[in-house]
């Protein structure tokens, strides 16, 4: 069974409303579903950036073995990161992502104009 990746773009992080969070429920062949679940935000050590109000980190979230190393990477979108959106890729580790090797892409990295509402990370317009 594959991992279940759940984005919560409306989640407040401290006093920062709609900063967003992601929860991962590891897939299991046997045993209780939910065992070993974990979450992360932009404030998690090693995840690029920092939680800001209305970023909506977790607007989109998925897991897949992008580099074919046998470990699923996690890709997360934040529709309103820096007002235009962003995408994070967290490399797969033994039990959790390798946060320190995570990368983030914004409109500038992709040579796109930084226009308000680009929604690079997916999601609904505010």
**For residue 98, with 0-12 CB atoms within 10 Å meaning exposed, 13-18 middle and 19 or more buried, which class applies?**
middle
Query: Quick check: is 86 in a domain?
Result: yes
C-alpha angle 86-56-63 in degrees, rounded to nearest 5:
65
pLDDT of 87: 94
pLDDT of 91: 94
Both structure tokens of 96: 């959790």
Cα separation of 114 and 104, whole Å?
Answer: 15
Cα separation of 79 and 100, whole Å?
Answer: 23
Strand partners, 105: 87
Strand partners, 40: 22
pLDDT of 54: 95
Number of domains in the chain: 1
pLDDT of 30: 73
pTM here is 0.88
pLDDT of 96: 85
Query: Quick check: is 64 in a domain?
Result: yes
Query: Quick check: is 117 in a domain?
Result: no
Cα separation of 89 and 64, whole Å?
Answer: 11
pLDDT along the chain (126 residues), means of 10: 87 97 85 82 96 95 90 92 92 88 89 79 61
Both structure tokens of 105: 């892409």
Range(s) of the domain holding residue 63: 4-27+38-106
């Amino acid at each position: 069974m594959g991992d279940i990746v759940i984005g919560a773009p409306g989640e407040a992080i401290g006093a920062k409303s709609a900063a967003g969070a992601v929860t991962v429920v590891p897939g299991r062949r046997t045993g209780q579903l939910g065992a070993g679940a974990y979450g992360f935000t932009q404030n998690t050590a090693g995840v690029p950036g920092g939680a800001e109000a209305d970023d909506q980190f977790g607007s989109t979230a998925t897991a897949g073995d992008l580099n074919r190393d046998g470990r699923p990477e996690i890709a997360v979108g934040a529709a309103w990161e820096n007002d235009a959106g962003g995408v994070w890729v967290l490399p797969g580790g033994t039990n959790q992502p390798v946060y320190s090797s995570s990368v983030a892409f914004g409109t500038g990295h992709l040579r796109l104009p930084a226009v308000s509402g680009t929604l690079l990370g997916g999601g609904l317009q505010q």
